[in-house]
Amino acid sequence: MSKRKLILINTAVGIGILGCAFVSTMTYDLFFSKRSSNNYQKENEFTKLSQVLQEDSFPEEISSFYYPDYGFNFFGLNEKIFPINGRSNIKTYYCEEQGYLSSYKSDRYGFNNPDNVYNSKSIDIALIGDSYVDGACTNDYTFRNNLDDLSNNSLSVANFALGGSGPLLQYAFLKEFALYYQPKKILWFWCVNDLRNLQDELNSPLRSYMVKDFTQNLIEPQNKEKADLILKEYFQWIKKLKRSNFETDPTLYDLKVSISMRFPLTYSIYKKVKRFIPQFYFDTPDYWNKKTILSRNDILTRKLPPSEYEQMVDVYSQVMKEVKETVSQWNGEVTIVFIGTGGYNSKPHVPREFLSKSHKFQRKMVEDVAIKNGFKFFDFEEKIDETFSAKDHVKGFSRGRGHFTDKGYKKASKILFSNLLEN
């Protein structure tokens, strides 16, 4: 038998086996799975966030992750309180980069912590940052949980973090919540999109936090409850809008959600298999030169740093000066942790050619601001690149997006612990 025929036979057999497995899982989903259709929904084992938004118990009993979008959330405009983070004490669904929809029970302030972390009137370690820090797309392996385990529960660790947040919103977390627990050490994370986030925050009510002594007193239960009620009203509107759009004009994404609900086991296997398939599209010149208003190439190769970045440097310096004055009230220690892209050299699909100037500019800026304010500086990204492989990052997300895998979160936490907390 020729080599060519042997390859064709093996390929045909492989395709046949995969086809049989696919049909078997679909049959199981249709006739035997307790997770299919209505039973699947009742168990609240969702695969996509859109399923949560259409669930009967949403938003009364369960909630979605919330980033304060002041350009879109017009609810509560007649209130003196405006929300700055998620809802308190509720099952919250987040994101699904690893093939499952991550979730957590929020604490009394709306963060991803076990509520008993506040049983003591002081906290040893406060983590302040964005999605990497609040544990995006992982259930059990957040920095907070991992550091707790690595210290054998000898350190009290709390995260005051939110995906999509920038320095000004993070400063609001410090003033509203962390301040009252006077953490001995604060690890303040800088991500490569923080300057862009800071621009958005300056055009929102968050700029009030630059006023000395401004606070909404969200630490008080009655004020946090008012903020949560505004979010509940907002989510009710989102749910109504989502259902209306699906009934009149379902998108391809909506249809994918419906299929994933009807065939949960099949969809779960598909997602896991997909993670092992190389995605070359995002590294091609065609992708980067594709025209919208401007091509991605045009956007990312314009003068770097752009003028707005230079303006944001001054604002960032002012924010961190306020951080210094706040933390000095109890002689706390601040370390600026540069996480950058989460792995500039080890992460798949990072557009290094287009980000190199901006990346170097931001790293130097953050280190200079840390030195100026007497903070410690730690290049977390450099250590990540020394120890990570591509498998420690989520695969299949374009332009360097995506977070750590569960294994990656554990490895990153060990880097933090051994370099910043072990002694």
- pLDDT one-digit tens code per residue, 370-401: 999 999 999 999 999 999 998 899 865 444 45
Helix (H) / strand (E) containing 324: helix 307-327
For the segment 247-267, the average pLDDT, to the nearest whole number, is 59
Please state which of the four CATH numbers 3.40.190.10, 3.40.630.40, 3.90.180.10, 3.40.50.1110 is assigned to the domain occupying 49-421. 3.40.50.1110
| Span 230-241, average pLDDT | 90
Q: How far apart are CA 75 and CA 84, in angstroms?
A: 13
Query: Whole-model pTM?
Result: 0.81
pLDDT, residue 358, reads 83
Domain boundary assignment for the chain: 3-32, 49-421
Quote the pLDDT of residue 189.
98
Q: State the average pLDDT over residues 152-180.
A: 96
Q: What pLDDT was estimated at residue 268? A: 65
The pLDDT value recorded for residue 70 is: 65
The pLDDT assigned to 386 comes to 97
Return the structure tokens found at 171. Answer: 């400063």
Ranked by mean pLDDT, the top range of 5-14, 38-47, 378-387 is 378-387
Cα 225 to its chain centre, rounded Å, is 24
Quick check: 44 pLDDT over 60? no
User: What pLDDT, on a 0 to 100 scale, did the predictor assign at position 379?
Assistant: 98
pLDDT mean over 153-162: 96
State the Cα–Cα distance between residues 267 and 261, nearest whole angstrom.
8
The arithmetic mean of pLDDT across residues 115-126, rounded, is 94
Q: What is the C-alpha to C-alpha distance for residues 280 and 380, in angstroms, rounded to an integer?
A: 28
Q: Contact 158/185 with Cβ under 8 angstroms?
A: no
339, 381 Cβ separation under 8 angstroms: yes
